[in-house]
Amino acid sequence: EYSSITATRMSQNNNPNNFGSPNNDNNNSNNNSNIGNECTETNETKQKRLLIQQILKNPALSQQEKQHQIQSLMSGHVHIPANTLAPQNNSNNGHGNSNNNGVSACTHYVRQCNIISPCCGKVYPCRLCHDDGEDHTLNRYEIREVVCKHCNLRQPASNSNQCMNLNCKVRFAEYHCGVCNLWIDGEDVAAKQPFHCDKCGLCRVGGRENFTHCNKCCMCIRNGITDHQCIKDKYKNICPVCREDMFSSRQSPIELACGHCIHDKCFRTLAQFDYRCPICKKTACDEVMMEEAWASRARDIEMQPMPPNLSRVVCIICNDCARKTRSLNWHFLGVQCPSCRSFNTSIVSNEGQQQPDNNNNNSNSSNDDNAGDSSSNADAAAAASMSS
């Protein structure tokens, strides 16, 4: 319902959003009629899809654990009980009260009302629940009706934030935005501090007093960050890793040293095996950390000289300083740029066999004989240790 984009520099400590753990349920439901079986299979397929989405979003699981759980779910080793299958939302008849008994619990927000989807007319706890269960997305600005969870009264989504039933009058949420049609209640209000930014046209999190809207970047920037690179509509792009729109995403983006933006969570995952910006390939990690890594790489190269039958001379270009250098000795651990001392280099061409009388200038590059990226598995190991 709301975007938790809080643009910060990567040097700061960000707290990525936490997702609920997947439901590891068992399904032992069997129906006697063919119609019942078809309904159960339809619900089970939908529930499996929801479980897979929750598994993929769970930050507490490693990639291997996610793959194992998804494989177990699809192979039938982990079943879904019939009483946990998400029921079909047939409670919305278009008139009067709506039956909330068929609406599954919301895993995203705490609120005292459900929404009526303007696109398909079904009852859902929130916009995100709708998008998870349907093959289309819901426009938050087009929501016009809600259903009270206490009295089941279907009513307009007015700005009163209160049930219209005179015998109910329950407050739907502590925080309500009539523009985004967002209701947030419970501990999330104090923890996330939602606020609506008129210039963004969205609800953000983090507290209005802690952010200032940058008209050029078209984003709310945290106060105290004065050195961000102002680029027009910089955040109105997709994340280069997950391909999700960063402007309206619920994940916090960060700005890399090169000026490109990426989700903080995606960058932390990427940094486990690559230290570079996925767009321009410049080094994205802290400069002091990388200097230590480059020095350690140079020592390893000095201790492991290439044998004469594998030695060769190459021409490289540095991805960090963009300088091209010729006649450097190739090494499987990488080729170091003589200008900025970075090992983030790419081979442009091979210049032939290394001469025996050459100095042991064990610099850098890829373990590929062809022109390419010199960031090998050794780079990944260095980045993983620095990004832990």
Is the model's pLDDT at 315 over the cut of 90?
Answer: yes
pLDDT at 172: 92
- Tens of pLDDT along 156-199? 887 778 898 888 889 999 999 989 999 998 888 888 899 999 88
pLDDT at 78: 53
CB 85 within 8 A of CB 26: no
pLDDT at 92: 40
Neighbours of 257 (CB within 10 A): 17
- Tens of pLDDT along 363-388? 444 344 444 444 434 443 333 333 33
> Could you report how far apart the first and last alpha carbons of the chain are, in Å?
31
CA–CA dist 345, 356 (Å, integer): 24
Higher pLDDT, 37 or 340: 340
Cα dihedral sign, 241-265-262-297: negative
Least confident of 41-50, 178-187, 265-274, 334-343: 41-50
CA–CA dist 110, 154 (Å, integer): 19
pLDDT at 43: 66
Is the model's pLDDT at 50 over the cut of 90?
Answer: no
Q: Look-up: residue for tokens 């190459």?
A: 314
Higher pLDDT, 9 or 104: 104
The full DSSP string for 72-139 is HHHHTSS---GGGSPPP-----SSS---GGGSPPPSS---SEEEE-TTT--EESSHHHHHHHSSS---
Mean pLDDT, to the nearest integer, of 275-282? Answer: 89
Higher pLDDT, 28 or 137: 137
Instruction: Calculate the alpha carbon distances from 185 to 106, 173, 175, 177, 306 in Å.
Output: 12, 4, 6, 12, 64
pLDDT at 254: 84
pLDDT at 175: 92
pLDDT at 353: 65
Provide, for the chain, the percentages of residues in helix, strand and coil under a 3-state DSSP scheme, each rounded to the nearest 5. 25, 20, 55
Least confident of 18-32, 108-122, 184-198, 289-303: 18-32
Is the model's pLDDT at 39 over the cut of 50?
Answer: no
CA–CA dist 364, 344 (Å, integer): 9
Q: Helices 63-75 and 34-57 meet at what angle, rounded to 10?
A: 180
Mean pLDDT, to the nearest integer, of 48-57? Answer: 80
Mean pLDDT, to the nearest integer, of 259-284? Answer: 88
Range with top average pLDDT, 144-153, 223-232, 349-358: 144-153
CA–CA dist 54, 107 (Å, integer): 10
CA–CA dist 24, 51 (Å, integer): 8
- If residue 382 lies in a helix (H) or strand (E), which one and from where to where? helix 377-386
**pTM (predicted TM-score):** 0.56
Q: Residue type at 64? A: Q
Higher pLDDT, 13 or 134: 134
pLDDT at 335: 92
Q: Which long-range contacts (CB under 8 A, 24 or more apart) does 155-160 make?
A: 157/115, 157/181
Higher pLDDT, 216 or 17: 216
- Tens of pLDDT along 61-81? 777 777 877 877 777 655 544
pLDDT at 100: 44
